[in-house]
Amino acid sequence: MILVNGQATDTVNARDRGLAYGDGIFRTLRTQAGQPLWWRDHYTKLAADCAALMLACPDEAGLNAEICRVAEAGSGVVKVVITRGSGTRGYAAPAGQTCTRIVASSPLPPHAQVGAPHDIAARWCTLRLARQPRLAGIKHLNRLENVLARAEWDDPAIFEGLLCDDDGMVISGVMSNLFWVRGGELFTPDLSQCGVAGVARARLLRAAARLGIRTHIDRLPPAAILAADAVMICNSVMGVRGVARLDDLTWPPADWPTILNDALYEDVD
Amino acid sequence: MILVNGQATDTVNARDRGLAYGDGIFRTLRTQAGQPLWWRDHYTKLAADCAALMLACPDEAGLNAEICRVAEAGSGVVKVVITRGSGTRGYAAPAGQTCTRIVASSPLPPHAQVGAPHDIAARWCTLRLARQPRLAGIKHLNRLENVLARAEWDDPAIFEGLLCDDDGMVISGVMSNLFWVRGGELFTPDLSQCGVAGVARARLLRAAARLGIRTHIDRLPPAAILAADAVMICNSVMGVRGVARLDDLTWPPADWPTILNDALYEDVD
């Protein structure tokens, strides 16, 4: 089911700036029993991303109600898209622009369902992310880099591709944030130049602090991952997954993905 | 008037990948007497951009017919958008994806009408374009940088903003390509790292060759423009315009914009 500005419909205005320029942001969140999971974090991030692009942020209670209205009865996924609305041609946004708000539900993907494998196989992508501090961290609608990176493989055994920036520093997965452990300490890439700072990543960092795990947010080369004791990816739909294989490199099963995944869900909003 | 896949409508599927990810390309062209101007160049560029993003390119005759169908009776603007179609959630494009084709007309904007000033005022933007060679030159739908740059000013006296990349090299205007003349030779930025390689730019380079004007396509700093004898911007809707003022710097009227604008329209397709 899809709501566009609160109305049930499958379509949006063909002159919407979200389509014309990718002029907007989005959130993909998990729902359980018809309610958004981690709502406090998702709304906080949505509001921050709207502010970064000078978009009017939808009212929290109203948006929550729309998510509940479209959510599947059991577990599912809801995507929220906020664009700068439809308007005349040209990059300049008309004054007093009314945003477009799209709230759409989908079934839970196989990899996020109960019983899905805890560990996944990944590969390095050749595409390098461009560094744009004005857009870094924001989950905006300009995602051609992710589309091109995801098009680098069609082997269904490969679940995720890992990305570096044009400086050769590790940033993230195509659809996930990246963490690794070495000597009992947790590492995750600095996202001040590119990448999406996801809600699962923010929760994982809070969980690590709660558990007393020393954490490093840094610009690090791929060699740092190759030397890790355990590597993990995470996002809001699937939680934490262990990386069992990265191209020719393998890691034995570790407790870390389970420990951190459990911690991710423990945090009370 | 808008045609979506040949059907008159004002809407597109809310799950279109053009909206979800900016996964597509576009063209903005001028029409005259109901026909697209510079059609050969526009279709060639559309096909090249589709190929660069692995999008199926629409048939030439069919697309031309749709442009003529929506075009205003006199002069006008037609925008063509090609997206990877609508589909399931996720960056991976489904196999055998059918593209979405949007053909929409608009009135000619004031600055492109007969009698509009030949010279314009410009300013430098603070936003720096990120360098992404995989997307450079392509007129794709990921245009948040242009939106943010255009939002840097609202003074109606300023017509265009000029952009550098994150290395400080001059790239283009927000909605135009950039040329300047020094000592009788023509200069335009190299667009292999970022920027859009527009059809007016390609035609201007051909015109310069025809006129025997020595041309340099190079990575150059803003100082190169400040030392220019004449500065111009161009795009397919307005042709060539002289830059009379750039922040505090002014140039006296020169013949170059008129010479090059005339040459732009002389080329027979």
Largest pairwise CA distance in chain A: 56
What domains can you pick out in chain A, each with its CATH number?
A: 2-108 (3.30.470.10), 119-266 (3.20.10.10)
Nearest to B106 among A9, A89, A93 (CB): A89
Q: For position A96, what pLDDT does the model report?
A: 80
Q: In chain A, whose CA is at the least distance from the CA of B14? A: A11
Provide the pLDDT for residue A32.
94
Task: List Cα–Cα distances, B109 to A229, B77, B78, B113, in angstroms.
Answer: 60, 8, 12, 7
**In the predicted structure, residue B269 carries a pLDDT above the cut 60:** no
**Interchain pair B11, A15: CB under 8 A:** no
For B24, the closest chain A residue by CA position comes to: A144
Quick one: three-class SS letters along B85-108? Answer: CECCCCCCCCCCCCCEEEEEEEEC
Which regions of chain A does DSSP assign to beta strands (E)? 2-4, 7-8, 11-13, 24-32, 35-36, 75-83, 100-107, 119-129, 160-165, 170-173, 177-182, 185-189, 215-218, 230-235, 239-246, 249-250
* A147, A152, A174, best to mutate vs chain B, most B CBs in 10 Å: A147
Say yes or no for a CB contact (<8 Å) between B144 and A53.
yes
**Contact list, A237 vs chain B (CB under 8 Å):** none
Q: Which parts of chain B fold into alpha helices (H)?
A: 17-21, 39-52, 60-70, 144-150, 199-210, 222-226, 256-266
CB–CB contact A91 B147 (8 Å): yes
Are B19 and A83 a contacting pair at CB < 8 A?
yes
Cross-chain CB nearest to B150 (options A91, A143, A166): A91
Q: According to the model, what pLDDT value does residue A201 have?
A: 98
Residue B161 in tokens = 């903003």
Mean pLDDT of B172-190: 98
Contact A135 B143 (CB under 8 A): no
User: Looking at this protein, which amino acid is placed at residue A100?
Assistant: T
Alpha-carbon gap: B102 to the closest alpha carbon of chain A (Å): 8
Q: Which three-class secondary structure string do you get for A204-234?
A: HHHHHHHCCCCEEEECCCHHHHHCCCEEEEE
Asked whether this complex has an ipTM greater than 0.90, the answer is: yes
Lowest mean pLDDT among A87-91, B103-107, B207-211, B245-249: A87-91
Contact A84 B147 (CB under 8 A): yes
CB B243 within 8 A of CB B231: yes
Nearest CB neighbour to B2, from listed A2, A14, A17:
A14
Nearest CA in chain A to B18: A19
Residues on chain A touching B102 (C-beta within 8 angstroms): 14
Chain B residues with CB under 8 Å of A141 CB are 19-22, 144
Chain A residues closer than 8 Å to B104 by CB: 14-15
Residue of A nearest to B90 (CA): A175
Distance from the Cα of A1 to chain B's closest Cα (Å) equals 11
Please tell me the least confidently modeled range out of A83-87, A114-118, B135-139, B200-204: A114-118
Q: What is the pLDDT of residue A141?
A: 98
pLDDT at position A73 is 87
Reported as a pLDDT band with limits 50, 70 and 90, residue B64 is: very high
- Evaluate whether B77 touches B109 at the Cβ level (below 8 Å): yes
The letter for the amino acid at B158 is I
Burial class (CB in 10 A: 0-12, 13-18, 19+), A116: middle
* Helix (H), strand (E) at residue B128: strand B119-129
CA–CA separation, B164 and B174 (whole Å)? 10
Q: Which residue of A has its CA nearest to B107?
A: A89
Contacts of A18 in chain B (CB under 8 A): 19
The terminus-to-terminus CA distance of chain A in angstroms comes to: 26
Q: Please state at what angle helix A256-266 crosses helix A199-210, rounded to 10 degrees.
A: 100
Nearest to A120 by CA among A16, A242, A11, A213: A242
Selected for mutation to probe chain B from A4, A16, A19, A158 (highest B CB count within 10 Å) is: A19
Instruction: Please answer yes or no on whether A2 and B18 come within 8 Å at the CB atom.
Output: no
User: Residue B101: closest CA among chain A residues belongs to which residue?
Assistant: A14
With contact defined as beta carbons under 8 Å apart, do A250 and A244 qualify?
A: yes
DSSP assignment letter at B23:
-
High-pLDDT (> 90) share of chain B, %: 89
Q: Which of A88, A104, A140 lies nearest to residue B14, judging by beta carbons?
A: A104
| Nearest CB to A147 within list B88, B91, B149 | B91
Instruction: Measure CA of the first residue to CA of the last residue in chain B; give whole Å.
Output: 27
Q: Is A115 exposed, middle or buried (0-12, 13-18, 19+ CB in 10 A)?
A: exposed
pTM of the model: 0.97
Please judge whether B91 and A54 are an interchain contact, meaning their C-beta atoms are less than 8 angstroms apart.
Answer: no
Q: What percent of chain B has pLDDT over 70?
A: 99
Q: Could you give the CA distance from residue B52 to residue B40 in angstroms, rounded to a whole number?
A: 18
Size of the A and B interface in Cβ pairs below 8 Å? 172
Residues A91, B14: C-beta atoms closer than 8 Å: no
A15, A130, A147: residue with CB nearest B130: A130
Please list the residues that pair with B31 across neighbouring strands: B36, B76
When mean pLDDT is compared across B5-19, B84-98, B234-248, the lowest value belongs to B84-98
SS3 A146: helix
Residue of B nearest to A139 (CA): B21
Contact present, A19 and B79 (Cβ < 8 Å):
no
The confidence score (pLDDT) of residue B73 equals 87
Which residues, including other chains, have CB under 8 Å from residue B63's CB and lie 6 or more apart? B43, B46, B80, B101, B103
pLDDT reported for residue A116:
82
pLDDT higher than threshold 70 for residue B187: yes
pLDDT score recorded for residue B80 = 98
Note the residue count of chain A. 269
> In chain B, what residues touch A140 (CB-CB under 8 Å)?
144
Residue at token pair 């981690």: A38
Angle, alpha carbons A56-A87-B13 (nearest 5°) = 90
- Over residues B223-252, the mean pLDDT reads 96
* pLDDT confidence of residue B268: 57
| Whole-number pLDDT of residue A115 | 81
Instruction: Please state, in angstroms and rounded to a whole number, the distance separating the CA atoms of residues B198 and B27.
Output: 9
Q: Encode chain A (269 residues) as per-residue pLDDT tens digits.
A: 999 999 999 999 999 999 999 999 999 999 999 999 999 999 999 999 999 999 999 999 999 999 999 998 889 999 999 999 997 779 999 888 899 999 999 999 988 888 888 899 999 999 999 999 999 999 999 999 999 999 999 999 999 999 999 999 999 999 999 999 999 999 999 999 999 999 999 999 999 999 999 999 999 999 999 999 999 999 999 999 999 999 999 999 999 999 999 999 886 54
In sequence order, what are the residues at sequence separation of 6 or more whose Cβ sits closer than 8 angstroms to the Cβ of residue A7? none
Contact A23 B104 (CB under 8 A): no
